[in-house]
Chains A and B, each alone.
Chain A
């Protein structure tokens, strides 16, 4: 109790210095958390992927579509239980700034493959019945204030014209990381239009989503699917959903590595700043530590004082930094909208922030604590701060 009281009093002895150190810590830990959250959001698609889903796309490029007839052949492959498909729609809602992903899907099989999209039976039925219907995630609906029955006009970029969809359902994610920032429309509606206006582009799909029963067979099933279309006009590449999602992330891997490096560099910088503060603090109190040792306090007590004070400041700075991250993330997440749908602080990020703060505190105190524990009492008593 006495030790804690002494630590608190020591920590705030030089209020301005402590306040400035805390500001540095709050900014550093807050920024570290924000950058980790950004990286986490980038990888959210990978983390949210299911091990029981595979994705089949053109072996040449994702931009090359495959005949929809592949679905039946894929379904016949041993180990595949369900097949669905999805096409990137790429519509613009009001202006280019309002970006969110839209997919034209085969609804019955698709929703079966994505049980994490929690939709009421009534809404699901309404969507299945209405070829011009659409469903959206809760986050997207909240962002644009949509409610069931609303007409949502999208200006097509891949499929020309204005497309108006009726909102038939709003799904909630089964988990926090489930994407609630997408819009799903019926493939049949788009395909019907293509058959009339651009028959050459009809009955094609950009990707097939495969449901498998045993995740351990994923590699084998992928090989079987790709072998099925070997030497065809449109060869396929089948991979796990996680690998598929990762292929998008890897496009910006250099940036992510840089962000990761910066997040750690920030911690190293604040570590140096804090170490400087603690070294100054220790030097100023040299005669006090010498007095304590003269009175009979052990070197370990001096170590406790310095480590305790450093960890206390680091803890306060860390907690405030975490609060800053939470506040900033909420604001930035709102501003980013559907661009990074899973932009939220995770418990792992918060644990990393806390660990980083405590590491900063411990490392900053290590040298002065070691030095002060070994001070010569007589020399220390002569020291004038």
Chain B
């Protein structure tokens, strides 16, 4: 069961984002209002260029909005400096990328250990955390393998272990199954589902795939940078019952 608290973890208000290209301002997100509850599993959907990845990047704190507020755990991350934002990401966000983004020269173990280097943990403590994360993604026997010695699914599981090893409250996933076949993608989604249900992680996932989105509790659609009315996913509808649409 997911543990959805009453307080939203993510509160987005009046959020807009525009890029400048050749002196022109190109709007990507327009006046976004969005709440994501603690322990929720949200799928961001929409056609290419709809702004879903931009919204995910803003939530993850790797991009800055043109205007508006992004409160995460009560902190408006739009007001943080670059170094404050880096510290905040290290403590609060786990990243899962479409192409895994593992360091090719590091073993699975070392890749998972990376975020822990930013903590004050000792080498022994780090080892224990990494082992636990490897257990969670069932890759204990692959800890000494380099990314190029792992299949796509295994690499994504390493990336998931890296995302959760520092125990962040929020996990952002950008097309986590986009580079995987259907079966492997399904396994990765099951893993994300486990993280959400068993560990209470709040997950925001960008996906094109309706089947992947169906594993989330909630789908958020974007069209040309504008949020379209919310709808519960199939998983949410079956387990939690229909959710009232948000204002």
- B91 to chain A minimum Cβ distance, whole angstroms, is 8
Q: Is the CB of B101 within 8 A of A381?
A: yes
Interface size class on chain A is 20 to 34
- Nearest B residue to A380, CB-CB: B62
Q: Is there a chain A Cβ closer than 8 Å to B136's Cβ?
A: no
Q: Is there a chain A Cβ closer than 8 Å to B191's Cβ?
A: no
| Residue interface bits B108-150, CB-to-A below 8 A is 1, else 0 | 0010011101100000000000000000000000000000000
Q: Please give, as numbers and ranges, the residues of chain A lying within 8 Å of B113 by CB-CB distance.
A: 2
Interface size class on chain B is 20 to 34
Measured in the bound complex, the distance between the Cα atoms of B104 and A291 in whole Å is 12
B-facing residues in A212-270 (Cβ within 8 Å):
none
Q: Please give, as numbers and ranges, the residues of chain A lying within 8 Å of B171 by CB-CB distance.
A: none
Q: Is the CB of A378 within 8 A of B57?
A: yes
Q: Is the interface of A mostly helix, strand, loop or mixed?
A: helix
Q: Is the CB of B86 within 8 A of A293?
A: yes
Q: Is there a chain A Cβ closer than 8 Å to B41's Cβ?
A: no
A-facing residues in B56-99 (Cβ within 8 Å):
57, 60, 62-63, 82-83, 86-91, 95, 97
Q: Please give, as numbers and ranges, the residues of chain A lying within 8 Å of B88 by CB-CB distance.
A: 296
Measured in the bound complex, the distance between the Cα atoms of B104 and A10 in whole Å is 9
Q: Is the CB of B118 within 8 A of A377?
A: no
Q: Is there a chain B Cβ closer than 8 Å to A287's Cβ?
A: yes
B-facing residues in A269-295 (Cβ within 8 Å):
287-288, 291-295
- B147 to chain A minimum Cβ distance, whole angstroms, is 11
Measured in the bound complex, the distance between the Cα atoms of B114 and A298 in whole Å is 13
Q: Is the interface of B mostly helix, strand, loop or mixed?
A: helix
Q: Is there a chain A Cβ closer than 8 Å to B237's Cβ?
A: no
Interface hub of A6, A292, A296, A381 (most chain B Cβ within 10 A): A296
Interface hub of B89, B97, B105 (most chain A Cβ within 10 A): B105
Q: Please give, as numbers and ranges, the residues of chain B lying within 8 Å of A2 by CB-CB distance.
A: 110, 113, 117
A295 CB contact (under 8 Å) in B63, B106, B115 = B115
Q: Is the CB of A294 within 8 A of B105?
A: no
Q: Is the CB of B105 within 8 A of A6?
A: yes
Q: Is there a chain A Cβ closer than 8 Å to B1's Cβ?
A: no
Measured in the bound complex, the distance between the Cα atoms of B86 and A292 in whole Å is 10
**Given known A377-B63, A378-B63, A381-B97, contact A297–B105 (CB-CB < 8 A):** no
Q: Please give, as numbers and ranges, the residues of chain A lying within 8 Å of B26 by CB-CB distance.
A: none
Q: Which residues of A contact B (CB under 8 A)?
A: 2, 5-6, 9-10, 13, 287-288, 291-299, 377-378, 381
Other contacts beyond A291-B95, A294-B89: 13, CB < 8 A: A9-B106, A10-B105, A13-B104, A291-B101, A291-B103, A294-B60, A295-B115, A296-B89, A296-B115, A296-B118, A298-B86, A377-B63, A378-B63
Task: Identify the 5 closest CB pairs spanning chains A and B, nearest first.
Answer: A296-B90, A9-B105, A377-B62, A291-B101, A296-B89
9 contacts between A and B (CB under 8 A): A6-B105, A13-B105, A293-B86, A295-B90, A295-B162, A296-B87, A296-B91, A296-B118, A378-B63
